[in-house]
Amino acid sequence: MSARTWLITGCSSGLGRALASTVLSTGDNVVATARDAGAVRDLGGLALSLDVTVPEQVRAAVAAAESEFGGVDVLVNNAGYSYRAATEEGDDADVRRLFDTNYFGAVDLVRAVLPGMRARRSGAVVAISSIATRAGLPGGGYYAATKAAVDAMMSSLRAEVAPLGITAMTVVPGAFRTDFAGRSLVQAPREIADYAATAGLRRKENDTSHGTQPGDPARAAAAILATLGSAEPPAVLVLGADARGLAERDLDSRRELLRVAERYSTEF
């Protein structure tokens, strides 16, 4: 079986770095990207500087991968960061920058690799989402919204590309020992006292979880690799016992909401 070529964004640390290292150990090719290529050159493979919010850089990265390896077989949209703010506290520019990175950057990469995948009638698109989309955490609404947008896009993409031999899989991790609660976390400068007991409790200065999360990025990387290598990769891969528990509670809650509203939603 010939080596596949992976283009992975956000490889300077955390899950992206662990995944790039794991994939390289199998003999596959990796195009490892980060805002600064110097942060990923030690991994091996092809290291590229990529700011996913700049469309020209997105197209250049895909073109470089095609020139070096003949095409992109697996795209992993991992680049992104977290943002904490009560809904009322959110800064317009900050929120738009968040969506540009977490959502629009991912969409641009998908659109850039699909022509090659369609031509070969093969390929896989992987999006790293978050259990935050199912948790309803105070102060996390804007971040969860970016990931929920990715989830919805991937759901439609899955139906569009499946007949073309292309896989689209969403990965939903729980808390992993990455920089998510460290340098990858931005918080709104504005604080409203009325939210101190809700969103305020989750602000960065009150976060003691950084570096102590239960999830191991290396094990997550191995799970993603194994899942993509299976005969029928799942549409959604939930990673971590904490994520599984939150996903189950979310399903139970939605069923209960449907039950409570059944009389109103069916009498038309």
Residues tagged active-site: 129, 143, 147
Could you give the CA distance from residue 255 to residue 268 in angstroms, rounded to a whole number?
Answer: 20
Own/partner contacts of 36-42, CB < 8 Å, gap of 24 or more, are 36/12, 39/11, 39/12, 39/13, 40/11, 40/12
Residue 80 host element (H or E): none
Q: CA 201: distance to chain centroid? A: 25
| Strands in the chain per DSSP E | 5-8, 29-34, 46-49, 74-77, 82-84, 123-128, 166-173, 185-187, 236-239
- DSSP assignment of 140-164 equals -HHHHHHHHHHHHHHHHHHHHHGGG
